[in-house]
Amino acid sequence: SEAKSGRTDLIFLIRFRHCCLLRNQRCLLAYLYDRLLRIRALRWEYGSVLPNTIQFHMSAEEVEWFNRYKKSLATYMRSVGGEEGLDLTQDIKPPKSLYIEVRCLKDHGEFEIDDGTTILLKKNSQHFLPRWKCEQLIRQGVLEHILS
């Protein structure tokens, strides 16, 4: 209303306010974008199912974004590497052997491996297991990879 009344000296005030609005907008956008970058990193570092403690802190839109990202990634991985697709989130570090030695860091209950046998993952127990079964559990902090 003051602009309409023709007071040109207030143009500075308007410009100042506009700068502040743009600044706030920038800060908010950068914050939200950084959150998305971290959520995306979770898919690679943690896995496709996020623990409740993390999901609790995500907004509904962020959860939906994560699900859509998961889907895009899965579609892409299926499309490369022939018939079965290629799991890019496995073997992030070059594997040296098919089986690895792991130690259990917390109780995780029963764990079934490919030939049907089940293993009890109790804290401090050590096992010799196929690498591809353990990788995710190691990343999640349940198992620890022991080098011989």
Partner 1 sequence: MSEAYFPVGPGLGLEENFLSLDDILMSQEKLPGRAESALPRLALALGKGGGGAESVPEGSKLEIPLWLAKGLHDSKRRIISVEPPKIYKEAWRTVFSADANVVDLHKMGPYYYGFGSQLLNFDNPENPEIAQTVSNCVYHLQTFISRFRRIMDSSQNAYNEDTSALVARLDELERALFQVGQKGLNDFQCWEKGQASQITASSLVQNYGKRKFAEVDG
Point out which residues bind partner 1 (CB under 8 A). 9-10, 12-13, 15-16, 18-20, 22-23, 26-27, 29-31, 33-34, 37-38, 40-46, 52-54, 56-57, 92-96, 100, 131, 134-135, 138-141, 144-145, 147
**In angstroms, rounded to a whole number, what is the distance separating the alpha carbons of residues 47 and 74?**
12
Cβ-based nearer residue to partner 1, 34 or 87? 34
3-class DSSP assignment, residue 139: helix
143-146 and 99-104 beta bridge pairing: antiparallel
In this complex, which beta carbon is closest to partner 1, that of residue 53 or of residue 83?
A: 53
In this complex, which beta carbon is closest to partner 1, that of residue 12 or of residue 116? 12
Query: Nearest approach, Cβ of 144 to partner 1 (angstroms)?
Result: 8
**105: closest CA among 131, 140, 79?**
140
CB closer to partner 1 out of 82 and 148: 148
Q: How far is the CB of 83 from partner 1 (least distance, A)?
A: 27
